[in-house]
Structure 1
Amino acid sequence: MTVGGRYQVQRVLGRGGFGEVWEALDHNLNRRVAIKFITGVAQYPEAARRFAREARILASLNHGSIVTVHDAGTIDHGGLPLPYLVMEMLHGGTWETAWPDSAVETGARLADALAHVHAANVVHRDVKPANIMICTDGRTVLMDFGIARDDNSLTRTVTTTGKAFGTPAYMAPEQFGGAGATPASDVYALGLVLVEKLTGQRGPAAQLTGAARAAVPGHLVPLLTRMTSHLPQDRPSAAECARQLRAPAAKPTLVLPGGGAAAPGLSGAGAVVRSGSLRARLAAPGALLALFLVSGFIRAYSYGGPHNGSLWSGPVRGTIGAFAGPLFRVRGQDFSTWDAQAWAAVTTPLVILGLGATLALTAGLVPGAGTLPRLGGYAAAALAVAGLSWQAANYPPWYDPHVPMEPSTGMWLFYLATALTIGEYIRRDVRNQRPAAQVRLPGTPASR
């Protein structure tokens, strides 16, 4: 289908309640574009009005973090008018699934965009991760201005049917009461998004638990608390948010027991240690991975007792070979009856998958991590333990019915690395659930 005599529609990119977005080729300029169509205009006249408003608003805005409009128009579709909007083609993913290099810098870019929007007397009214595109070229783009308002009153928040505009999970408290959406409403929504991305919890910053609060850079806690304040008048402007999000952090002072303080840069027991740093998080998992690799090339079993054979051996007779053996010995008929050989061939990859996932989740475990990723680590550990337990009881990796063998150094080292891996994950999870150490910025009074 060709739209407007120049746009060759090719494939659908997404569908929503009132519209569809398609990828198209602009033959005049030989470039890829995104075309948004509004469906169900006859059944929902309000959708067409919102669409026209979105086109008008976007055409009036010019900012690197706001999607650019190229064209707009209407085509005949089955005897009915079908409005369309031609926009720049963005490559990337929404902030629901994509992870930018810095959540704080992404928030600053969004605050810049909202400041530009608010200066044009526009309120977005639907700031949420699904409307934020993290582009592969490094840009952060605010999208979907379909329910934005550009009139002077900025008071209409509820439709004639009583349904509020926006996404309830990110709406400001005043919007639920039917009050008019204002720039402060957008700031509140952006604050919720930042709290969610920094801590894994959604809600006002003042309600964060101690562990979740520790995941937020200390100098940003007051800002996020103001952004998610219950009262609109207590929230900062979007421009102020952008400035403070980019402001350098003051060096924190660790409050010691008894009211003392450790000076920044002090070495020894009083030093300020950033436990959430990448190096600290990777140290233990890296050491455990090295231990697994070492155990893989040490002899896994011995013939007739541990005194026979050297400690080191090739991969065929080492721990790697012991676990890989069932994968090479299994035959098709084993799976037809699901005998011990078949189960051994299945449980071995599951053990490796479980241990690999446990190590990866250990490295990624930070204060404020959500329940789902935390449970994922325990599930991965349980998978590895279940596989190893079954093999030890039913078909040990050193099993050979013709030769008397028993586990040797490599196998015991592998089991030890497994236990240490699971223990390290539990230790980190328990530590992250404890209240964080109190950090005071220079110039702020100590709490009593």
Structure 2
Amino acid sequence: MLTRTDLRSALPSPAELRTTLPRAEVDVDAVLHQVRPIVDDVRARGVEAALEYTEKFDQVRPDSVRVPVAHLERALAELAEPVRAALGEAIARARVVHNEQRRVETTTRVAAGGTVTERWAPVQRVGLYAPGGLAVYPSTVVMNVVPAQAAGVESLVVCSPPQAEFGGLPHPGILATAALLGVDEVWAVGGAQAVALLTYGGVDTDGAELAPVDMVTGPGNIYLTAAKRLVRGLVGIDAEAGPTEIAILADAGADPAHVAADLISQAEHDPLAASVLVTDSVELADAVDAELARRVPLTKHSERVGTALRGKQSGTILVSSVDDGIRVVDAYAAEHLEIQTADARAVADRVRSAGAIFVGPYAPVSLGDYCAGSNHVLPTGGCARHSSGLSVQTFLRHIHVVDYSEAALREVAGHVVALATAEGLPAHAEAVTARFPEGL
């Protein structure tokens, strides 16, 4: 089922690997012309435009954008106990991990009388997006809200598409999770119009203000991603997320049933999801293919899974050694990387590019999706080479506070003047010399 690429004879250079390895093709630029008018219209007409697009795309028009708190409370009261308990555990573990990430203020004494303090300030208001397309993700609400709360963000709004079957409200699981997290502001709006409304704000149908945000985070489809690109700069964004992906680096000792199950679990998200196996064992690759052939027809979303596994974004990469496999997965820079080899932790420690790494046979990606305590909003499309997943730092800004005495400035003034003069900026030099009219 998985297309094979044989790299055993000679491993390409890192640059060549980037074009050789399977990858979903997502051209955000191709849909910008469709999304720009939506963003512009919501900017001009606010809630009325957002509700019109909601009716067009979601086939439902909510009475208002903001969901009444009573609906959140009811959704939580009606949430099945096993799901409530699981969400509670996921939240508790995520809080343990993310509370440890909060930065502390540091002051560095550069010279006598001269200090630089790095102070961390949270973003004031954040819009957190929870998708509602092929699947609904209460877990994504957890993954966005917990680090924002740990960072000290004062104002949070969760956005999720309204659902016709739920009377124009977002999915009850989204509402219940928001309530469980203590978030009482939820907007029933999705897609590009949600990003635009979060950016520009508006006035709801009942006359209440919908305040704009300073940052938008959370995954979505290509249209939401295009909207985030268009408003970037007016607001901060976490990333331009593409289709989800898993890479598994495995040797002959890996259990093919585990590998196949994990590849399928990622393919379940989306027909464009990428499932990639990197191995030095032809026997394992054959066994995984046999397991996929057996398991895919039995899984609930078999058509979606089969499309993803057969797509050019998925495949098996044969390498001559685990060492070469590490080079391959570093070049691929997967959103999720599983290591199922001998000495898995030692191998994982050598990997430099991945959104998150799952070590050994008992750390499947599904664990990270829900209850590991880690964050599952991660860089895709090779962006793990230069970017990180969502964390407390996403919602914090560092501010340098420079405090120099007269003596400390005098001590370094000559160097400032020399550099300003060398760069052809005499007024920069004069801003220093003006403080010492008697001369340096």
- For normalisation by structure 1, the TM-score amounts to 0.21
Of structures 1 and 2, the larger Rg is shown by: 1
Indicate the structure whose relative CO is greater, using CA pairs within 8 Å and at least 6 residues apart: 2
Which TM-score applies when normalising by structure 2?
0.21
